[in-house]
């Protein structure tokens, strides 16, 4: 008998399946890398902001040295933008890092972590990795059912993950509902409000989560530079919470968890309003392009508030896999979501107009 290493709860973890890298699809299907279109990982189709590229080029000169473990300049930029003290900020190697740190910091093995059905897979992974018990609350219209979540809180619940907007479904919880929910969560339960797609929200839906952080010592707001800011490859995100929460996160994070190029690029990107605006605009245009097509084709989709759309491509359990494979053969990478329990659906990241058009053309041919 071979030796089994590690605890059972670690062995039970299913590996995270990300969007297929372009080079891998080129190899597998014998395609030209330059012609492949990737609409699979909710990356910014504009790539990185020029301001971030310049900042990184300057920071490269110092790469022989360790990064600033306290991220002074980046925290100063966040402080200026969001009007929170530096002591309220945790920098992360992607916001994924913040999510995992929260699980490690606030939950013991056997205690409960809560999240919604069809919410970000990393929540399940973070809970499993620490041997926590998961409370998965059934979704309502593919989004969070906050009433059911409030009622499902147990004595041993220590952490609740909420994504707003949610990935992979794109649903959005209006501010008033979220605020009412926060008021119902017991004070010993930490709520992670994961706002990875916040920058795509139109002005009329924006809300002041930082004001809630001031009001609720158990609230941790998480933001990423991977989506609208176009820095996914650098791995940089941050959390904002009062010191009682932030102190613990900072104690268990790796001292140099955010590299110096990422810190420099993030400072530049945070202040690049023009880039953010352009990203949101191109996203809104692409969303119309997609949803008009889905309406024409009579395909069901979930109205999205992020930079992607979840669309139902067939009625049988193999529909998502089948359409995905057919698209891959034509060099178009999208995201199957069977691992989220949505085998009839695909998640399509909104790209540049010509990328969206290529996807639309391929989809129309496939479904004809």
Residue closer to ligand PLP by CB (options 262, 311) is 262
Determine the Cα angle at 238 with ends 160 and 137, to 5°.
15
Residue closer to ligand PLP by CB (options 42, 293) is 42
Measure Cα distances from 357 to 108, 140, 311 in Å: 48, 31, 16
By C-alpha distance, which of 118, 138, 140 is closest to 338?
118
Strand pairing of 345-349 and 308-312? antiparallel
Of 56-64, 91-99, 145-153, 312-320, the segment contacting ligand PLP by CB under 6 A is: 91-99
Q: How far from the centroid of its chain's Cα atoms is residue 117's Cα?
A: 15
User: Which member of 44, 90, 96, 250 binds ligand PLP (CB under 6 A)?
Assistant: 96
95 touching ligand PLP, by CB under 6 A: yes
Q: How many residues of this chain interact with ligand PLP, rule: CB under 6 A?
A: 14
The pair of structure tokens assigned to 70 is: 């306290």
- Phi, psi torsion values for 9, nearest 5 degrees: -70, -25
Residue nearest to ligand PLP (CB): 94
Residue closer to ligand PLP by CB (options 221, 327) is 221
Eight-state DSSP code of residue 129: H
Contact indicator for 41, 232 with CB cutoff of 8 Å: yes
Give the contacts of 8 (CB within 8 A, at least 6 positions apart): none
Q: How far from the centroid of its chain's Cα atoms is residue 93's Cα?
A: 13
94 touching ligand PLP, by CB under 6 A: yes
- Phi, psi torsion values for 159, nearest 5 degrees: -150, 135
Residue closer to ligand PLP by CB (options 75, 227) is 227
Of 24-32, 146-154, 226-234, 342-350, the segment contacting ligand PLP by CB under 6 A is: 226-234
- Phi, psi torsion values for 185, nearest 5 degrees: -80, 130
Minimum CB–partner distance for residue 296 and ligand PLP (Å): 28
194 touching ligand PLP, by CB under 6 A: yes
Q: Give Dmax over CA atoms of the chain in angstroms.
A: 61
43 touching ligand PLP, by CB under 6 A: no
143 touching ligand PLP, by CB under 6 A: no
Contact indicator for 334, 290 with CB cutoff of 8 Å: no
Contact indicator for 44, 52 with CB cutoff of 8 Å: no
100 touching ligand PLP, by CB under 6 A: no
Minimum CB–partner distance for residue 163 and ligand PLP (Å): 4
CA–CA separation, 228 vs 237, rounded Å? 12
257 touching ligand PLP, by CB under 6 A: no
User: Which member of 113, 132, 163, 302 binds ligand PLP (CB under 6 A)?
Assistant: 163
Tokens 């300057």 belong to: 58
Eight-state DSSP code of residue 14: P
Which residues within the stretch 167-186 sit at the binding site for ligand PLP (CB under 6 A)?
167
CA–CA separation, 266 vs 287, rounded Å? 26
218 touching ligand PLP, by CB under 6 A: no
Minimum CB–partner distance for residue 2 and ligand PLP (Å): 34
Which residues within the stretch 233-252 sit at the binding site for ligand PLP (CB under 6 A)?
237
User: Which member of 196, 258, 262, 360 binds ligand PLP (CB under 6 A)?
Assistant: 196
Residue closer to ligand PLP by CB (options 330, 347) is 347
User: Which member of 111, 116, 128, 224 binds ligand PLP (CB under 6 A)?
Assistant: 224
End-to-end C-alpha distance for the chain, whole angstroms: 53
283 touching ligand PLP, by CB under 6 A: no
226 touching ligand PLP, by CB under 6 A: yes
Residue closer to ligand PLP by CB (options 40, 112) is 40
Write out the residues near ligand PLP by the rule CB under 6 A.
42, 94-96, 120, 163, 167, 194, 196, 224, 226-227, 232, 237
């Amino acid at each position: 008998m071979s030796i089994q290493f590690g605890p059972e709860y670690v062995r039970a973890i299913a590996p995270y399946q990300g969007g297929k890298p372009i080079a891998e699809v080129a190899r597998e299907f014998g395609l030209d890398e330059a012609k492949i279109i990737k609409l699979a990982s909710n990356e910014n189709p504009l790539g990185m902001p020029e301001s971030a590229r310049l900042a990184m080029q300057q920071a490269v000169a110092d790469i022989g040295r360790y990064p600033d473990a306290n991220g002074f300049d980046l925290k100063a930029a966040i402080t200026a933008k969001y009007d929170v003290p530096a002591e309220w900020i945790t920098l992360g190697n992607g916001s994924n890092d913040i999510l995992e740190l929260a699980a490690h910091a606030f939950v013991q093995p056997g205690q409960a972590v809560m999240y919604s059905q069809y919410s970000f897979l990393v929540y399940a992974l973070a809970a499993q990795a620490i041997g926590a018990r998961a409370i998965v609350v059934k979704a309502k219209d593919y989004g969070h059912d906050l009433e059911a979540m409030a009622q499902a809180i147990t004595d041993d619940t220590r952490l609740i993950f909420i994504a707003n907007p949610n990935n992979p479904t794109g649903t959005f919880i209006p501010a008033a509902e979220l605020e009412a929910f926060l008021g119902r969560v017991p004070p010993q339960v930490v709520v992670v409000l994961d706002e990875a797609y916040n920058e795509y929200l139109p002005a009329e839906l924006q809300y002041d989560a930082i004001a809630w952080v001031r009001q609720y010592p158990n609230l941790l707001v998480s933001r990423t530079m991977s989506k609208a800011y176009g820095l996914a490859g650098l791995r940089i995100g941050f959390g904002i919470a009062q010191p009682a929460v932030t102190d613990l996160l900072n104690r268990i994070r790796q001292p140099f968890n955010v590299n110096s190029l990422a810190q420099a690029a993030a400072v530049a990107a945070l202040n690049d309003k023009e880039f953010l605006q352009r990203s949101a605009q191109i996203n809104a245009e692409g969303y119309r392009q997609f949803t008009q097509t889905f309406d024409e084709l009579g395909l069901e989709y979930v109205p999205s508030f992020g930079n992607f759309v979840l669309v139902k491509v067939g009625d049988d359990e193999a529909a998502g896999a089948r359409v995905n494979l057919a698209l891959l053969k034509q060099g178009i990478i999208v995201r199957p979501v069977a691992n989220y329990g949505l085998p009839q659906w695909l998640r399509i990241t909104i790209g540049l107009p010509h990328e969206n058009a290529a996807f639309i053309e391929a989809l129309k041919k496939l479904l004809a």
